[in-house]
């Protein structure tokens, strides 16, 4: 298995402000980090390390995993809105470094790194784990004003996995946006100013 990509799709978000865009990305940063966290913890728990070594590694990883780069934006398309991103391997890299720092015996470190290589290169092992993590995380997650329509997972011809996340806006929020959202550009401002000038001149 190679890389993991995600694609966020919303069918009606045509005019997107920076606040809305940041809100979407922030929410999915949390989701992706949780998927990465679960992946790393499964690897630690299933390893041949001692219980005390596992606990030490879990403790060291817990805080650090909140500050890694979760993904890289690959492409943004408008019309509706589609955001495509590449999930980083930062969590797995941090795991390898933490094991190297926490485990004293060289042979244990070597065996763990070998198991990590095997995990990343076996076609189905990581794919199945990621699918379980994705299902578990998305079932439990709250997307605030957005409605999760579906999550579709597909293996691509190059061996990578694409996770398509289809969202929509909650009906009450959609109505609020429709009633209140205006496009703040030069033409809109000029039209508003000219309307105000006409009113003032009429009342002068």
Count of structural domains, the chain: 1
Q: What is the mean pLDDT of the chain?
A: 84
Dihedral over Cα of 80, 86, 87, 88: its sign: negative
pLDDT number for residue 161: 87
Residue 96 lies in a domain: yes
Residue 26 lies in a domain: yes
Residue 203 lies in a domain: no
φ, ψ (nearest 5 deg) of residue 17:
-80, 165
Domain extent, residue 92, equals 4-170
Q: Which pLDDT band, with edges at 50, 70 and 90, does 198 fall under? A: confident
Indicate whether 50 pLDDT > 80: yes
Residue 64 lies in a domain: yes
Residue 181 lies in a domain: no
Residue 175 lies in a domain: no
Dihedral over Cα of 142, 139, 94, 2: its sign: negative
Q: Which pLDDT band, with edges at 50, 70 and 90, does 182 fall under? A: low
pLDDT number for residue 79: 65
Residue 191 lies in a domain: no
Place of tokens 């009342």: 203
Residues 37 and 53: their CA atoms lie apart, in Å, by: 18
pLDDT number for residue 38: 92
Q: Which pLDDT band, with edges at 50, 70 and 90, does 171 fall under? A: low
Residue 28 lies in a domain: yes
């Amino acid at each position: 298995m190679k890389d993991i990509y995600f694609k966020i799709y919303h069918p009606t978000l045509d005019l997107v402000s920076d606040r809305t865009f940041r809100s979407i990305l922030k929410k999915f940063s949390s989701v992706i980090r949780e998927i990465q966290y679960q992946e790393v913890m499964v690897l630690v728990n299933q390893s041949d390390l001692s219980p005390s070594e596992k606990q030490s590694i879990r403790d060291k990883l817990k805080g650090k995993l909140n500050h890694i780069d979760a993904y890289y934006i690959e492409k943004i398309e408008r019309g509706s809105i589609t955001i495509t991103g590449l999930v980083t391997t930062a969590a797995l890299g941090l795991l390898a470094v933490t094991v190297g720092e926490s485990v004293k015996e060289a042979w244990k470190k070597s065996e763990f790194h070998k198991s990590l290589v095997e995990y990343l290169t076996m076609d189905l092992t990581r794919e199945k784990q990621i699918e379980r993590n994705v299902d578990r995380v998305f079932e439990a997650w709250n997307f605030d004003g957005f409605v999760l329509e579906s999550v579709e997972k597909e293996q691509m011809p190059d061996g990578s996995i694409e996770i398509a996340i289809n969202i929509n806006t909650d009906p009450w929020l959609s109505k609020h946006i429709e009633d209140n959202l205006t496009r703040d550009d030069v033409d809109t401002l000029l039209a508003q100013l000219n309307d105000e000038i006409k009113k003032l001149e009429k009342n002068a």
